[in-house]
């Protein structure tokens, strides 16, 4: 960069280009160590990250403690926000709003690369950068708050004062010194506790952290094992993720708006997904955030959702999965769902499977479902 180009002018030019690329919010902060690191370490010490061991890896923690351990030449951090679609209003099986369109990792990172292409000829040499969205060892919401994009709400989401929280964050660590923005210091949640009150599993804690082990998003996306039986009733209609704490937030009620990003427009059928398609593995996942859970995870989640709606037409699909699915975790959740639906047909499926099941975990689920049917004596959904 020419020494005659001042830092403020370059920063303004970058923000203008970022807006042209679809980033509605852009802020700049420094790579100073985050003041909230002690909160993060305490959260890890209480094992509230669940099975996400990568969050507790010492190398990852040390990088979160100082972004310059990621990029030693880092002088500035650009934080960008891109709006995704708001949740659909329809009831029934659902996916988290950010997962209705294409995979945001690809969309955000491709546009950040284009922003770096703009910056590079205007920056000092050698120019270095690292790009992240959600996957890097950064406390990105804390960085976004420092960059002036909003405050961290009681639901742990970053909330923009004029747009709510239905947006995705991306970061660019750059070697170029840029003009930092003033941090957002106000806490505009006030006395509101709607997110805490509405959370189906009470996973939102008073200290503005999440117990991931109880979070529906964690259970349906990150958890690779069985969903704990005591949490399955709370899963409700959520096949992937959960938006409850954002849906009730007054800032989203007021400011939710359609996405201007074509790739984030809801894909056909995503606003009212058919859980049977996920159970049977016919629903498309490619280029979607749903790939994070994988086909087996989506089938497991779909079985739980089907267990909450006593429909006779689901019994056949669950019965097939109980016998034929290659993953014993999916078979076990199909058994649980049949136990919830009840009726003679569901019981017959469970009894057939009990004779052939070889996995101890799935067999335990079958036995529990049969015991539930015996104790409930419920109405046959085919006759209801």
pLDDT digits (tens, 9 = 90+) for 122-177: 998 899 999 999 989 999 999 999 999 999 999 999 999 999 999 999 999 999 99
Output 383 or 160, whichever has higher pLDDT.
Answer: 160
Q: What is the mean pLDDT of residues 283-312?
A: 95
DSSP 105: H
Contact 295, 286 (CB under 8 A): no
**Reduced to 3 states, what is the DSSP secondary structure of residue 169?**
strand
Q: What is the mean pLDDT of residues 361-382?
A: 85
pLDDT at 384 (0 to 100): 47
Tell me, yes or no, if 134 is annotated catalytic: yes
On the question of pLDDT at 261 being above 80, the answer is: yes
CA–CA separation, 115 and 113 (whole Å): 5
pLDDT class of 312 with cuts at 50, 70, 90 = confident
Query: Closest Cα to residue 14, out of 101, 106, 96, 77?
Result: 77
Catalytic residue (choose from 32, 66, 91, 134):
134
pLDDT at 378 (0 to 100): 54
Which tokens sit at 221? 């996306």
72-110 burial, b if ≥16 CB within 10 A, otherwise e?
eebbbbbbbbbbbbbbeeeeebbbbbbbbbbbbbebbbe
On the question of pLDDT at 315 being above 60, the answer is: yes
pLDDT class of 382 with cuts at 50, 70, 90 = very low
pLDDT at 313 (0 to 100): 87
pLDDT, one tens digit per residue, over 190-236 is: 999 999 999 999 999 999 999 999 999 999 999 999 999 999 999 99
Whole-prediction pTM value? 0.94
pLDDT at 2 (0 to 100): 47
Q: What is the mean pLDDT of residues 89-94?
A: 89
Q: How far apart are the first and last CA of the chain?
A: 74
Tell me the C-alpha to C-alpha distance, in Å, between residue 319 and each of 9, 293, 323, 364. Answer: 65, 23, 6, 16
Q: What is the mean pLDDT of residues 67-94?
A: 96
Contact 336, 368 (CB under 8 A): yes
The separation between CA 149 and the C-alpha centre of its own chain, rounded to angstroms, equals 20
pLDDT class of 379 with cuts at 50, 70, 90 = low
pLDDT at 3 (0 to 100): 53
pLDDT at 305 (0 to 100): 98
352-359 long-range Cβ contacts below 8 angstroms, 24+ apart? 352/319, 352/323, 353/319, 353/322, 353/323, 356/323, 357/331, 359/328, 359/331, 359/332
């Amino acid at each position: 960069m020419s020494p005659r180009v001042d830092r403020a002018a370059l920063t303004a030019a970058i923000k203008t280009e970022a807006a042209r690329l679809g980033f509605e919010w852009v802020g700049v902060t420094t790579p100073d160590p985050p003041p909230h690191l002690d909160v993060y370490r305490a959260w890890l010490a209480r094992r509230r990250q669940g099975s996400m061991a990568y969050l507790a890896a010492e190398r990852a923690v040390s990088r979160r403690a100082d972004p310059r351990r990621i990029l030693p030449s880092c002088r500035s951090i650009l934080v960008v926000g891109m709006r995704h679609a708001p949740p659909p209003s329809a009831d029934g099986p659902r996916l988290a709003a950010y997962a209705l369109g294409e995979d945001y990792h690809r969309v955000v990172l491709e546009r950040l690369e284009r922003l770096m292409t703009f910056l590079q000829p205007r920056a000092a040499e050698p120019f270095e950068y690292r790009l992240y969205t959600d996957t890097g060892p950064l406390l990105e919401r804390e960085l976004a708050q420092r960059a002036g994009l909003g405050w961290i709400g009681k639901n742990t989401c970053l909330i923009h004062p004029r747009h709510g929280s239905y947006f995705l964050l991306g970061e660019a660590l750059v070697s170029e010194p840029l003009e930092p923005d003033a941090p957002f210091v106000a806490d505009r949640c006030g006395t509101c506790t709607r997110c805490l009150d509405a959370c189906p599993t009470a996973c939102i804690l008073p200290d503005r952290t999440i117990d991931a082990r109880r979070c529906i998003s964690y259970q349906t996306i990150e958890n690779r094992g069985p969903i704990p039986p005591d949490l399955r009733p709370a899963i409700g209609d959520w096949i992937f993720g959960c938006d409850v704490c954002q849906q009730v937030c007054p800032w989203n009620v007021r400011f939710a708006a359609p996405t201007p990003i074509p790739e984030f427009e809801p894909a056909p059928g995503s606003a009212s997904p058919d859980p049977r398609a996920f159970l049977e593995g016919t629903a498309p996942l490619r280029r979607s955030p749903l790939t994070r859970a994988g086909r087996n995870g989506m089938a497991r989640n779909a079985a739980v959702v089907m267990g909450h709606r006593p429909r006779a037409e689901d019994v056949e699909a669950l019965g097939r999965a109980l016998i034929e699915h290659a993953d014993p975790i999916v078979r076990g959740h199909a058994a649980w769902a049949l136990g919830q639906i009840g009726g003679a047909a569901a019981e017959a499926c469970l009894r057939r499977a009990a004779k052939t099941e070889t996995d101890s975990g799935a067999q335990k689920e079958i036995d529990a479902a049969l015991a539930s049917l015996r104790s409930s004596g419920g109405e046959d959904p085919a006759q209801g």
